[in-house]
Structure 1
Amino acid sequence: MQLFYTPDIDPANAHYFLNEEESKHCIRVLRLEKGNEVQLIDGKGGFFTALIQDAHPKRTILQIISTITAFNKRNHYLHIAMAPTKNIERMEWFLEKATEIGIDEITPIICQRSERKEVKTDRLNKIITAAIKQSVKAYHPVLNEPVSYKQFITKSFDGQKFIAHCENTEKTNLKAELTTSRRYLILIGPEGDFTPDEINDALHNNFKAITLGDSRLRTETAALEVCFEVNFLNR
C-alpha cells in the first residue's frame, strides 16, 4: 500500500493534485507510474483510493475511485496533556508510538518542575504525520501549542479527567474508574513529577488521581502506558 497524507483533499472532487514534495516521493522515490493505485488520507477520517493519471514529479494528477469516511474511527477520544521531556527525542518517541496505538490530542503543559519550557511543534507534527502514514490512520492527532499548567487545568472538558502522579496519597487505577466509549483527559507530569500544589489544584478542578503501578516511570513511558491502557480498556 502506497499511502499519502492529503489534508486539503475535497471529497466532492474526482481528481486530486499531489503537491511537489509528495509528487517527487511518489514518482522519483517509489517509482510509481500512470495507472498505479495509491491510497490517500486526509487526517479527518477520510480514506481514498486513487489511480495515477499523470505521473509528473512536480504535480502528479490522481483520479479518486473510492472514498471511505470515518475510516477506523475509534469509540473514544483520548487527550493526553504531558510535560515536555528534557530530551526532546523522548517526546518524539512518545508521539510516534502513541499515534500508532491511537490518540486524538496532545497538549504540552509547562509545570513548576518542567526542565523544558519550549516545544517546536512543526517538527513534532511531521513525526505524527509520518506515524499515521506508517500505521494507516485516517485521523491526524491534534498537537496543541504549549500552555502553562495552571491555565490548562481550568479549561472545561466534557469527559473524564485524570492526573497520574507518584505522591503517596490516595489514588485509584484507570480500570476501576474509566467508563468506556467516552472522552478522556489525562495529565502526565515532568521528570520530577507534579508538585503537591499542582496535584491539589487538579483535584479541585475535578481531576481524579490515578496510579500507573509501583514502578517509577519516565514521563514518556507513563504517557504511553496511559495511551495503551485507555485503548485496551475500550476494545
Structure 2
Amino acid sequence: MQLFYHENIEGQSVSFGAEESRHLTKVLRKKIGDLIQVTDGKGQLATCILEEISSRGARLQIKEKTLSPKDDFEIHLIIAPTKSPDRMEWMIEKATEIGFHKLTLIESENSERHRIKTDRLEKKMISACKQSLKFHFPEISPFASFEEMLNTSQSFDGQKFIAYVDEQNDQHLFGLAQPHGKYWILIGPEGDFSKKEIDEALALGFEPVSLGKSRLRTETAGLAAVHILNLVQEKA
C-alpha cells in the first residue's frame, strides 16, 4: 500500500495540489482509474479513485472510508531539543515509524537549543506516517518550559518517568512500565537535567528510569524510550 495524506476527507472527493499530483503521476506512475489510499491522520482511511489529473493538481473520488482503532496505550515523549535540528528531525522521523502519540519540546536549565520550528518536524512526522502506514498521526504540543511541563503533569493519571544518567538509577524503563497504559517519558538535553529539575520531577511523582548501561545522546535516548515502551506492550 502507498499511503497519501489529506487533512480533510469528510466529503465525497479529495483534491491534491501540483506537488502531490506530480508524485502520483511521475514517481508512482498512477493513472486515471487507479485506486489511491488517503488518510486524514485522525484514524480515517479513504479508498479513492483517481479521476482527474492536470498541471494544477489531481482530484480523487472517495469510494469507501474505514476508521482505524486507536492504540490501547499512549506515549507522550517530552524532550529537550538538540543543538542540531537535523538530529532532532531524524529522531522524530524514526520514533514516528516505531510509534508514539504526543511530543512536547521543553526548555531545561542545560538546554542547548531554546526554540525550534515545529513545521519541519510536522512534515517529517507526516512523511514517516505515510511510510509506516499509520492512520493516527502524533500530536505536537506547544514549546514549554520545564516548570510549565511539571505543572501540566499534575493532572496526568498515567505512569510518569524521567530518564537521566546516574549510577544509582538502575531501574530500567522496560521493567517499570506496565503494558497498555499511558506514559510520560522525560528526556533531558546533552548536559542532562539539573539536580533541581530531577528533584522537582521526583517530588511530583515521576519515577527515575534507566534506558540501559550506555550513555546516550539526547536523540538516541528519545528513540530508545519510544522503542522500549512499544516493546512493553508485548509483556502482557
Tell me whether 1:113 sits opposite 2:124 in the alignment.
Answer: no
Which residue does 1:139 correspond to in 2? 136
Name stretches of at least 5 consecutive residues in structure 2 with no aligned partner.
none
**1:149 maps to which residue?**
146
Distance of 2:202 and 2:76 partners within structure 1: 18
Partner letter of residue 56 of structure 2?
K
Instruction: Tell me the CA shift for residue 49 of structure 1.
Output: 1.2
Is 1:76 aligned with 2:76?
no
3-state secondary structure, aligned to 1:103: coil
Q: Distance in 1 between matches of 2:51 and 2:35?
A: 10
SS at match of 2:86: helix
TM-score, reference length from structure 1: 0.93
Counterpart-to-counterpart distance in 1, 2:148 and 2:217: 24
Aligned residue in 2 for 1:66? 64
- 1:32 touches 1:55 (CA, 8 Å); kept in 2? no
**Offset of residue 168 of structure 1:** 3.5
For 1:2-17, what aligned pairs fall within 5 Å after superposition? 2-10=2-10, 13-17=11-15
Q: CA deviation at 1:223?
A: 0.8
Q: Secondary structure at the match of 2:54?
A: coil
**Which whole-Å CA distance do the structure 2 matches of 1:215 and 1:90 have between them?**
19
Code of the residue aligned with 2:104 in structure 1: it is T
Equivalent AA in structure 1 for residue 5 of structure 2:
Y
Tell me the amino acid that sits aligned with residue 223 of structure 1.
Answer: G
Map 1:160-179 onto structure 2 (within 5 A).
Answer: 160-179=159-178
Identity %: 41
Structure 1's unaligned 5+ residue stretches are none
- Which segment drifts farther, 165-174 or 134-143? 165-174
Taking a change above 3 Å as real, the CA distance of residues 56 and 158 of structure 1, as seen in their structure-2 partners, is farther
* Alpha-carbon displacement from aligned partner over 1:33-53 (angstroms, at most 9, x marks no partner): 210111101111111211111
User: TM-score w.r.t. structure 2 length?
Assistant: 0.93
The match for 1:218 is 217
Deviation readout 1:55-94 (Å, 9 max, x if unpaired) = 23423221222222025x3221100000100111111111
Aligned residues: 232
Alpha-carbon distance, 1:150 to partner: 1.3
Q: Is the 8 A contact 2:45 2:65 kept in 1?
A: yes
Alpha-carbon RMSD across the aligned residues, in angstroms, is 1.5
In terms of mean alpha carbon deviation, does 107-116 or 143-152 score higher? 143-152
Matches within 5 A, 1:91-102: 91-102=88-99
Distance apart, 1:30 and its partner CA: 3.0
CA contact (8 A) 2:14 2:60 kept: yes
Q: 1:80-117, CA deviations, whole angstroms, 9 ceiling, x for partnerless residues? A: 00010011111111100000000111111111001111
The partner residue of 1:124 within 96, 121, 125 is 121
2-structure distance, mates of 1:216, 1:139: 32
Distance 2:56 2:28 in 1: 14
Aligned-partner SS, 2:64: strand
Kindly provide the amino acid, as one letter, of the partner of residue 184 in structure 1.
Y
